[in-house]
Amino acid sequence: MRRVREKLVFKEAWRSYDEFIERFPFRRRPEKIEELTPEDVYNPGADKPRRDFFYYVEKKLKPLGHITVYNDYAWRRAREDLATFKELLKILVDDDERICRKIDSWDRLKGFGGDKHYAKKLLFLYYPEEVIPIFKTEHLEHFAAQLGLTDTVDDRCRELFGKSISSRGTSVGEKYEVYQGVFMEAFREVVRDREDSHALGVALYSLYPPTKPVQPAASTTRSVGEPIGEMPILFEPVNELGVVMIFGMIYKQLGFPYIVKVRQGFPDASVIDEDGEIKRIEFEYKASNFLRHRHDPSQCDFIICWENDLGDSAPDEIREKVIAIKDRLRELL
């Protein structure tokens, strides 16, 4: 039954994919990129059904390749810096560009840096028959090790870029080009079309799961209470305590399968995200309170608040950490 349900989910996702490509046919017609409006890119206030670019990428096409999205900072940056976003899309869909440049160029748009999962998913969406939907570099490393391809990957990297895959100077895009090339070559008899590429990614995660949720170590000193069930809340919160209560009801929908600990002091909580990594959280009623309290942003990974009232003058290192429950509830309810 599970496989039947998965097949139905994937079938519906591919239908949504065809809608996406029809609406945003940028590989076939790159000139259409110039017609993009801010509302086409990201329009969270639109009446349903939404048809903006990043709603497809994050929501409707999620079964074709999962990316963890904690807030809409990157989507808003793409909408605000539309000219840069258009330039990066043109590079991404240019058949003459190498994969490494298609990925590394996204450093130019704030919110798309780091391991560039978002750019990698966009690459898959426009080249589904040529790219396996695996977006985390560490997962690619894991699968290569499981398949006995680690030496092949390193040899290919030296051949293409004159350096080891593990060199500090090897970029995210260069690594992605190498891993994708080695994997596609290894499975060239299997991958014939977009469905095969997607199925291969699903199979690798099923056969060789790269991470498992980290379980908190047992302790003789009890610092957390007994598990409790969900509880209803009728009205919007008016303080930080209300934010904590709502978070306790919807933390899984926000991308955190487990709560490790809630404590007094900064940061307020530890959680485990969907990649099995421990993240530190600070709760605030309004995001601006984080600045008022003069917390060190390097000591927490996310700011969970009711309302994001930060202006454009707030530091990017703080703005990109904000998860505003008020905004997310609109999507969840």
The pLDDT tens digits for 75-86 are 999 999 999 999
pLDDT value at 104 more than 70: yes
**Statement: residue 226 has pLDDT above 50:** no
292 has a pLDDT exceeding 80: yes
- Two tokens, residue 28: 């076939």
Beta strands at 258-262 and 278-286: parallel, antiparallel or unpaired: unpaired
Q: Helices 137-146 and 150-161 meet at what angle, rounded to 10?
A: 130
Quick one: pLDDT at residue 175? 98
- Which of the two residues, 120 and 310, has the higher pLDDT score? 120
Under 8 Å CB-to-CB from 163, ≥6 apart: which residues? 157, 169, 170
pLDDT tens track for 131-151: 999 999 999 999 999 999 999
Does residue 236 surpass a pLDDT of 70? yes
Segment 279-295 shows an average pLDDT of: 94
- pTM value? 0.75
Residue 128 CB neighbour total at 10 angstroms: 21
DSSP type of residue 322: E
Highest mean pLDDT: which range of 20-24, 43-47, 251-255 = 20-24
Q: SS3 for 284?
A: strand
User: What is the arrangement of strands in the sheet containing 302-307, beginning at the earlier edge strand?
Assistant: 258-262, 269-272, 278-286, 302-307, 322-324
- Domain ranges in the chain? 2-207, 240-332
Contacts 24+ apart (CB under 8 A), 176-179: 176/99, 176/100, 176/103, 176/116, 176/120, 176/137, 176/140, 177/98, 177/99, 177/100, 177/103, 178/153, 179/134, 179/137, 179/140, 179/141, 179/144, 179/153
